[in-house]
Amino acid sequence: MMIALIILLIAGGILGVSTLRDNQVRKFIEPYQKVYAPNVLINDMPIGGMTPQDAFTLIRSKMEERINSWNLAISYRGFTFANLNYGVLGITVSDQEIQQLLNEAWLATHKGSIHDQKAAIESVANKPLKLYTSQKELQSTHLVDIFTQIAPYVNAKPVDAAIAEFRPDEPNPFVFIDEQAGAVLDSQAAMDQIMEMAASGQSGTYELQPSLIPPKVTRAELENTVALLTTIQTPVETSKKDSANRIHNIRLSFSKFNGKILKPGQTFSFNNIVGPRTEQAGFAEAPEYAYGNLVDGIGGGVCQASTTLYQAAVTSGLSIVKRYPHSGKIGYTDMGQDATVYLTKDRNIDFQFKNTSAGDIYITAHVKQARTSSKKLVAEIKMYGIGLGDGISYRLRSETVKTIPPPEEKKYETDSTGIYATYTDEEKLKTKAVEGYVVETYLEKIQNGVLIEPPKLLSSDTFPPKPAVYYRGVNKRNP
Q: Residue 422: which CATH number?
A: 2.20.230
Domain holding 252, by residue range, is 226-388
* Burial class for 397, CB neighbours closer than 10 Å (0-12, 13-18, 19+): middle
* Same domain membership, residue 359 and residue 237: yes
Per-residue confidence (pLDDT) for residue 13, from 0 to 100: 58
Phi, psi values for residue 395, rounded to 5°: -145, 155
CA 172 from centre of chain: 15
Residue numbers in the chain where pLDDT is lower than 50: none
Cβ atoms of 274 and 309 within 8 Å: the answer is no
* Same domain membership, residue 393 and residue 379: no
* Same domain membership, residue 259 and residue 199: no
Longest Cα–Cα distance of the chain, Å, equals 212
Per-residue confidence (pLDDT) for residue 51, from 0 to 100: 95
* Same domain membership, residue 290 and residue 146: no
* Same domain membership, residue 152 and residue 68: yes
Per-residue confidence (pLDDT) for residue 282, from 0 to 100: 95
Q: Is residue 217 a part of any domain in this protein? A: no
Which of 361, 388, 415 is where one domain is finished? 388
Strand partners, 75: 80, 207
Is residue 445 helix, strand or coil?
strand
Sign of the CA dihedral running 406, 408, 413, 419: positive
* Same domain membership, residue 230 and residue 200: no
- How far apart CA 295 and CA 332 sit, in angstroms, is 16
Per-residue confidence (pLDDT) for residue 6, from 0 to 100: 59
* Same domain membership, residue 267 and residue 379: yes
Q: Is residue 176 a part of any domain in this protein? A: no
Count of domains for the chain: 3
Per-residue confidence (pLDDT) for residue 7, from 0 to 100: 60
- How far apart CA 261 and CA 381 sit, in angstroms, is 13
* Same domain membership, residue 445 and residue 356: no
* Same domain membership, residue 197 and residue 293: no
233 CB-near residues (< 8 Å, 6+ apart) = 308, 370, 378, 379, 380
* Same domain membership, residue 363 and residue 409: no
* Same domain membership, residue 435 and residue 288: no
- How far apart CA 301 and CA 305 sit, in angstroms, is 7
* Same domain membership, residue 382 and residue 410: no
Residue 72: CB atoms within 10 A of its CB come to 19
Judging by DSSP bridges, how do beta strands 392-404 and 377-385 pair with one another? unpaired
- How far apart CA 52 and CA 98 sit, in angstroms, is 11
- How far apart CA 178 and CA 160 sit, in angstroms, is 7
Per-residue confidence (pLDDT) for residue 2, from 0 to 100: 67
Per-residue confidence (pLDDT) for residue 299, from 0 to 100: 84
DSSP string, 314-346: HHTTPEEEE----SS--TTS-TTS----EE-SS
Length of the chain as a residue count: 479
Q: One-letter amino acid identity for 386? A: I
Per-residue confidence (pLDDT) for residue 55, from 0 to 100: 92
Q: One-letter amino acid identity for 169? A: D
